Structure 1
Amino acid sequence: MSKLLHLMRRGTEFLGCEVAIMCGAMSWVSERNLVSAISNAGGFGVIACGAMTPALLDAEIAATKAMTDKPFGVNLITMHPDLFELIDICARHNVSHVVLAGGLPPKGSIDAIKGHGAKLICFSPALSLAKKLVRSGVDALIIEGSEAGGHIGPVATSVLAQEILPDMAEVVPMFVAGGISRGNAVASYLEMGASGVQLGTRFVCAEESIAHPNFKQAFLRANARDAVASVQIDPRLPVIPVRALKNKGTEEFTRTQVEVAARLDAGEIDMAEAQMQIERYWAGALRRAVIDGDVENGSVMAGQSVGMVQVERPVKDIIAKLVNEAEAALAH
């Protein structure tokens, strides 16, 4: 066994794959084609449920199962109004791993997921929360720093890894995410105690990704500094920042926040609905960019590692390159 596979062993055994490289759940991008390709190439694909209806998720899982016999996961957002129905759909399909994102798991959700035999993975933006989640029964954690694309926390990956890994790496499998695009970074986090890594931005320009050619071209042209975090306008409407390439769509989000906050003030909607409207805005804006190719007015979610995405290539080549780079780094 190579040093890399030795360091990844806990992660690969937990996920049931050959290399402990997860694909981040990216709405409209992490669907049947990309997810199955990653799992078939030895990594671990994750379907992004996002704002999908239960019927859509049901169809997506079935379609993915038809394209791969390897394990894959499903990412659910905690604020989804049909969360427990989505959990039931995962159970009916015997989905092996569920990733919960977007805040603390709601009451009963951990028991519902684990009661069906699935392994539960959650995001941990701080050491105190990591300990709390593990006490609650979470099976593995993802440390995701602010360099990542899409919804982000305020702290850098490198800082979170130093804060959380020394205390938690022996307790549960830990996966590091945010700003990772090359194998030497993978190797360094494994040596710090991580069981594996998660990459999103790196896989957007995979040949199997259904992202519109305009969306992929935006990635291939971009530099790290082009991927900026959204700004929260109203402190009464807590919005998880989103990192995307700066365009007209980022300005439109500012206007959307003002409109939603006004409806909240007028009593037309409650806080839960206000936050769900923000989530729907992102789902719609992301669809305009990913599927329709409107990279000016849509949301081009990207991590700061986007500057290292320079060519479109098959998933198996992306994973092989990461593995080769990591093994070379460990050999030195």
Structure 2
Amino acid sequence: MAGRLNTRLTELLGCEYPVIQTAMGWVADPKLVAATCNAGGFGFLAGATIPPEEMEQRIIETKQLTDKPFGVNFHMYQPNAADIIEMVIRHGVRAVSYSRSPGKAMISQLKDAGVVCMPTVGALKHAVKAVEMGADVVTVQGGEGGGHTGAVPTTILLPQVIDAVDVPVVACGGFKDGAGLVAALAYGAEGIAMGTRFLMTKDSPVPAETLDRYVKVNNPAAVIISRSIDGMPQRMINNELLAQLEKAGPLKRLMMAVSSGLAYRKYTGMSIAQLFRSAIQMRSGGQMTAAQTIMAANAPMVIQKAMVDGKPAEGVLPAGQIAGAIDSLLSCDELINEIVRDAEASLERLCGTRG
């Protein structure tokens, strides 16, 4: 069976199965990443919500928990991005993932060191641009995915990207099991990436009170898209805080954003001047408005309330729509074994038993 699930992705990343655990802020810690990798998948450590002075220790801790290859996620506009790249190369981290604002020089530095560059995109044009910038793999997140997301469903976006690029493509948004993996492979993808499904595991560091809210959703329609957090579309479970923010005016949201930005500096190393300079640069680049850039600090800080402090009513609950179809918590080992078993059964139904 391992041969059937051996793809260009597993060859590049050195993992047994083409199942990726995405880098969710506050969630993708060394224990979850190691549990994923030890089970045969490939996990990404969330570097964007780790204070710069603690980043290297998290990489070392992950290496102590697994001898399997893993990846690190970060924003290439972080003030400590160059330091993270140096750590990734020095510690032999297999891959990096990132989203907006890629630096071509940084990507070249990583590729020259043999690090697999694997951005996540939510639009066809962004996928093409990412490959032009040097991406080795592209993760395509459809509108079903959690957190910041686009409007195009995975089933439409995925084949468009596969036809447009010549690097391995990973499907993300709406996946939880082996049948989904086989469906993605049938489209031409080389694997699947999941965030919500790994968040909802026994190996997740998310407090029990918050996990309980996820398990009790039981309705994909309750996982909505809102712009009230940072001005950009973000998919999350509807809750008390979100209801308050939807009613709040622009001034109240902006004041909250500035407060969050000051708190978020601990994790990015970004000064107030750098925060506003970044806003100006991204506005001039046409990627985000200045207000959206400032408000972007809202997301990680209000997510922290739920994911770290265990206060699901006071924080944001990012989730893919698939959360409404998950009603139990498995360990990473149980989850990946189940995915592989389900994939084998699906392939047998499609292809028949061969001697």
- TM-score, shorter chain, exceeding 0.5: yes
Over 3 Å counting, the alpha-carbon distance change for 1:312 and 1:7 in structure 2 is: closer
User: Contact 1:145/1:155 (CA < 8 Å) preserved in 2?
Assistant: yes
Q: Distance in 1 between matches of 2:4 and 2:330?
A: 27
Greater shift, 309-318 or 15-24, is seen at 309-318
Normalised by the size of structure 1, how large is the TM-score?
A: 0.88
| 1:141 counterpart letter in structure 2 | V
Q: Which residue of 1 aligns with 2:170?
A: 175
Q: Which residue of 2 aligns with 1:220?
A: 215
**Of the candidates 186, 194, 198, which is equivalent to residue 193 of structure 2?**
198
Q: Distance in 2 between matches of 1:286 and 1:122?
A: 22
**Aligned Cα root-mean-square deviation (Å):** 2.5
Q: Please report how far the alpha carbon of residue 200 of structure 1 lies from its aligned counterpart in structure 2 after TM superposition.
A: 0.9
Give secondary structure in 2 for the equivalent of 1:45. strand
Q: Which residue of 2 aligns with 1:164?
A: 161
Q: Which residue of 1 aligns with 2:127?
A: 130
**Of the candidates 85, 91, 94, which is equivalent to residue 93 of structure 1?**
91
Q: Please report how far the alpha carbon of residue 89 of structure 1 lies from its aligned counterpart in structure 2 after TM superposition.
A: 2.3
**Of the candidates 227, 231, 244, which is equivalent to residue 231 of structure 1?**
227
Could you give the per-residue CA deviations for residues 193-240 of structure 1, whole angstroms, max 9, x where no partner exists? 11111011111121111110011111110021111112269xxxx843
Q: Please report how far the alpha carbon of residue 260 of structure 1 lies from its aligned counterpart in structure 2 after TM superposition.
A: 6.3
User: Contact 1:249/1:285 (CA < 8 Å) preserved in 2?
Assistant: no
Q: Please report how far the alpha carbon of residue 116 of structure 1 lies from its aligned counterpart in structure 2 after TM superposition.
A: 3.1
Q: Which residue of 2 aligns with 1:295?
A: 312
Q: Which residue of 2 aligns with 1:249?
A: 241
Greater shift, 88-97 or 246-255, is seen at 246-255
Alignment of 1:57-76 (within 5 A): 57-76=55-74
Q: Distance in 2 between matches of 1:275 and 1:141?
A: 25
Q: Distance in 2 between matches of 1:60 and 1:38?
A: 16
Q: Distance in 1 between matches of 2:3 and 2:291?
A: 45
Please state if 1:317 is matched with 2:312.
Answer: no
Over 3 Å counting, the alpha-carbon distance change for 1:94 and 1:150 in structure 2 is: same
Give secondary structure in 2 for the equivalent of 1:206. coil
| 1:61 counterpart letter in structure 2 | I
Alignment of 1:130-149 (within 5 A): 130-149=127-146
User: Contact 2:15/2:68 (CA < 8 Å) preserved in 1?
Assistant: yes
Give secondary structure in 2 for the equivalent of 1:159. helix
Over 3 Å counting, the alpha-carbon distance change for 1:128 and 1:275 in structure 2 is: closer
Q: Please report how far the alpha carbon of residue 99 of structure 1 lies from its aligned counterpart in structure 2 after TM superposition.
A: 0.5
Give secondary structure in 2 for the equivalent of 1:166. helix
User: Contact 2:178/2:342 (CA < 8 Å) preserved in 1?
Assistant: yes
Greater shift, 208-217 or 279-288, is seen at 279-288
Give secondary structure in 2 for the equivalent of 1:287. helix
Q: Distance in 1 between matches of 2:66 and 2:104?
A: 33
Q: Which residue of 2 aligns with 1:187?
A: 182
User: Contact 2:245/2:253 (CA < 8 Å) preserved in 1?
Assistant: no
User: Contact 1:50/1:283 (CA < 8 Å) preserved in 2?
Assistant: no
Normalised by the size of structure 2, how large is the TM-score?
A: 0.83
Q: Please report how far the alpha carbon of residue 107 of structure 1 lies from its aligned counterpart in structure 2 after TM superposition.
A: 4.5
User: Contact 2:26/2:49 (CA < 8 Å) preserved in 1?
Assistant: no
Q: Percent identity at matched positions?
A: 30
Greater shift, 159-168 or 59-68, is seen at 159-168
What stretches of structure 2 of length at least 5 have no aligned partner? Answer: 259-272, 281-289, 350-355
User: Contact 1:80/1:276 (CA < 8 Å) preserved in 2?
Assistant: no
User: Contact 1:5/1:19 (CA < 8 Å) preserved in 2?
Assistant: no
User: Contact 1:7/1:191 (CA < 8 Å) preserved in 2?
Assistant: no
